[in-house]
Amino acid sequence: MNILVPDKWLRRYLKTDATPKQLKEYLSLCGPSIERINTVNGETVYDIEVTGNRPDAMSVIGIAREASVILPRFGIDAELIDDPYKMKPLLRQGFAGQAKKELPLHVTTDTKLNPRWMTVVFDHVAIQPSPTWLTEALELSGVRSINNVIDITNYVMHAYGQPAHVFDYNKINGSVMKLRASKKGEQVTTLDGKTHTLRDNDVVMEDGDGNLIDLCGIMGGKNSSVSDTTKRVVLFLQTYNASNVRKTSMHLAHRTEASSLFEKNLDTELVTPVFALSIKLMEELTGGVVASAVTDISASPWSAPVVTVKRKKVDTYIGSHLSDKEIKQILTALGGKVTVTDEQITFTPPSYRRDITIDVDIIEELARIYGYHTIQGKLPETETPATVYEDPILSMEQLIKTKLSDWGYTETYTYSMISDELMDHCAIPKDLTYKITNPLSSDWVYMRPTLIPSMLLTIKQNIPYEQDLKLFELSMTYAFKKNDLPDEQSTLIVAVSGARYAKIKGIAEQLFSLFGIAFPTTTDPANDYYEQSRSLQLGVFGQMGEISTQLLQRFGIGKPVTVLELSIKNLMKHRKTQKQYTAIPKNPASFEDFAFVVPNNTHVGPMLKTMELIDPMIKEVSLFDSFKNIRTFHITYQSDSKNLTKEDTMRVREKIIRHMRTTYHATIKN
């Protein structure tokens, strides 16, 4: 949470010669971070970030207290003055006697929801503009001045981190204030004119007629608010059960400065001194006179926990030994009591440090005031664990990306979430897809089970800029598992613009050989994202081919697109990593080219495979050329055991011709 603290106001509580620059630098090194120094109307104002665990620092006094502990560490004297916790108790029983007439207030509360309640009634209040010192302090802090009474409540909240509220006494029917949990469906209209419908367990206040006069912890009710004509004021300071206020604030989406304080663990002990100071301000600035007894209700009094930490642990964390003296100095300056032995430190934190409950909390206080900047860095000294091995899929993914990039392809990173529209284009069943409950945009709603829609969208987007698109992406797809987290599968998609089946098949074959897996020989087509006659199902490893014109049309893509999808996960499962050596043949190879005329619609793949198997002398068969019905094969002959003669090659040649004629009805071309 960020707060604005004017320098002038800060120095009301902090006696020091430190310059703003010094304050900023040193405080940020050891405590709350002063992010910026602003100059407003010639005045210096600090913009400070205070972390959520430190409600005690979310105020001028809180920052002053931190500064009074930190600045001396850098050789700058600093003293905290007018500490509310050091105030002599002001409250006596006899307040009620001051006004001419006593104004009663009938209070009922629930200390589980409201651990501390303090109220008092003022009469003869004159609503007026606030004095300049007050309006200036507020406006420099980013708060608008309204009138003297309202401004007092904002002033004490900002000064001490203790919210305060005022009611118009005459608007409270029956002078009854009853604090309770809300019931579902009840409504309250707050000061800003908004009407809220409540759930169970929001905290509310009801008057004698059953009207809700306060949305406790968030904002006062419009019906009980102080206006220009108010003469009698109820001053109300309190703390609430943090989680109730937080839940209410969340479900009503209503956040105020007060609620952001109340939803943290505020110090019940702070209420009394701030209440006394608020009474003083009311008397001074409004002419109001105390006209009732003080109502002071609290749950059981706060008792400080005793927290211990071993000296050894402190020294380990900080990397050096802290002396008894230094420890006592630091912890005492932060408030609370400390005893130190050779073995351990015993600390009783002050009531405003409810965040200190375990040993490492003490270590944090010691280490930050001692100074993180003082600690000398060093690399860990222990041996590297030998039992943790990197998952081989990670380096394989890196290898694939590098290879594809070297082969001329460009990597994309598209969002894992896709839109309703893309789901429909690709006919993906929504009940088997993980859906985001609170999407940021309608573009990003479903966790994609396939990379196809995102890639097609990317192709479409880039067509105007590049004729020859060659893209790839390696990301997770999210496969559905009933009642469980998705099966996140590492998947590769490669796409090129144009009808380039052979090019994509080349990439596929090359990738399969990276894994040491034989390229599938079946001719089943891929799924209906692809043109059936120009696609291949690659077993459990994926599929490839030209994308169906229908799907392209739905995406508004006017040219063909050829795609390869591979499951890296499955390829890894069947991967053969170790290459084996086979002896280099001693005898020379010889070569021959054959041109065959093959019948229409004959697959060449099986031909290549079977030809190799005709005779052990055939070492390799490749497709040299393909034109209309003519296929030219380049054959390599080689024997492991002897030098081949003309007779040997002649014999095999005849075998080949016979095989092609009988199995494929292919005749040799002359």
Partner 1 sequence: MKKIVQTDEPLAKDQVIRLLLTLQEDAVSAINESSDTPDILKLTWLGKNSEFLKLASSMRTAKPDDKQQIGAVLNGVKIAIENALATKQQSTYTAKNEEWFDTTIPGERPPTGHTHIVTQAIEEITSIFNRLGFTRVRHPEVDWDWYAFTSLNMPESHPARDEWETFFIDSIGKNEKSKKVVLIPHTSNGQVREMEKGNLPIRMINIAKCYRRQIDVSHTPMFHQFEGLYIDKNVSIAHLKGVLDYFAKHFFGADRTTRIRPFHFQFTEPSFEIDISCGICHGKGCKLCKEGWLELGGAGMVHPNVLTSGNIDTTVYNGFAFGWGVERAYMMKANTNIDDIRLLYSNDVRFLTQF
Instruction: For CA atoms 357, 362, 363, 364, give the dihedral sign.
Output: positive
Q: Which is nearer to partner 1, 391 or 647 (CB)?
A: 391
Instruction: Say if CB 138 and CB 211 are below 8 A apart.
Output: no
The region of 366-374, 534-542, 585-593, 639-647 touching partner 1 under the rule CB under 8 A is 366-374
Instruction: Say if CB 325 and CB 147 are below 8 A apart.
Output: no
The region of 97-105, 149-157, 378-386, 523-531 touching partner 1 under the rule CB under 8 A is 378-386
How many of the chain's residues bind partner 1 (CB under 8 A)? 88
Q: Name the 3-class secondary structure at 289.
A: strand
As a whole number of angstroms, the distance between CA 638 and CA 640 comes to 7
Q: Which of residues 307-326 bind partner 1 (CB under 8 A)?
A: 316-319
The region of 118-126, 189-197, 387-395, 539-547 touching partner 1 under the rule CB under 8 A is 387-395
Residue 389 found at the interface with partner 1 (CB under 8 A)? yes
Residue 268 found at the interface with partner 1 (CB under 8 A)? no
Residue 646 found at the interface with partner 1 (CB under 8 A)? no
Give the contact letters, 414-443, x = binds to partner 1 (CB under 8 A), - = no: xxxx----------------xxxxxxxx--
Q: Which is nearer to partner 1, 138 or 471 (CB)?
A: 471
- In whole angstroms, the minimum distance from the beta carbon of 402 to partner 1 comes to 7
**Among residues 170, 175, 462, 638, which is the contact residue for partner 1, using CB under 8 A?**
462
Q: Which is nearer to partner 1, 116 or 470 (CB)?
A: 470
Q: Which of 44, 39, 76, 57 is nearest to 3 (CA)?
A: 57
As a whole number of angstroms, the distance between CA 228 and CA 307 comes to 51
Q: Which is nearer to partner 1, 148 or 562 (CB)?
A: 562
Q: Which residue(s) pair with 216 in the sheet?
A: none
Q: Which of 333, 357, 363 is nearest to 345 (CA)?
A: 363
As a whole number of angstroms, the distance between CA 232 and CA 167 comes to 8
Q: Which is nearer to partner 1, 29 or 297 (CB)?
A: 29
Q: Name the 3-class secondary structure at 489.
A: strand
Instruction: Say if CB 347 and CB 362 are below 8 A apart.
Output: yes
Instruction: Say if CB 166 and CB 226 are below 8 A apart.
Output: yes
Residue 65 found at the interface with partner 1 (CB under 8 A)? no
- In whole angstroms, the minimum distance from the beta carbon of 592 to partner 1 comes to 22
Q: Which residue(s) pair with 491 in the sheet?
A: 475, 567
The region of 154-162, 393-401, 611-619, 654-662 touching partner 1 under the rule CB under 8 A is 393-401
Two tokens, residue 407: 């082969």
The packing angle between helices 148-160 and 132-140, to 10°, is: 50
The region of 395-403, 522-530, 595-603, 632-640 touching partner 1 under the rule CB under 8 A is 395-403
Q: Which of residues 223-262 bind partner 1 (CB under 8 A)?
A: 243, 246-247, 250
Two tokens, residue 27: 């405080």
Residue 394 found at the interface with partner 1 (CB under 8 A)? yes
Q: Which is nearer to partner 1, 385 or 558 (CB)?
A: 385
Q: How many CA atoms lie within 13 A of 169 on its CB side?
A: 22
Residue 522 found at the interface with partner 1 (CB under 8 A)? no
Q: Where are the beta strands (DSSP E) in 322-420?
A: 337-340, 344-348, 410-411, 417-418
Q: Which is nearer to partner 1, 52 or 599 (CB)?
A: 52
Q: Which of residues 186-205 bind partner 1 (CB under 8 A)?
A: none
**Among residues 33, 610, 638, 649, which is the contact residue for partner 1, using CB under 8 A?**
33
- In whole angstroms, the minimum distance from the beta carbon of 444 to partner 1 comes to 6
Element of type H or E holding 627: strand 618-627
Q: Which is nearer to partner 1, 93 or 461 (CB)?
A: 461
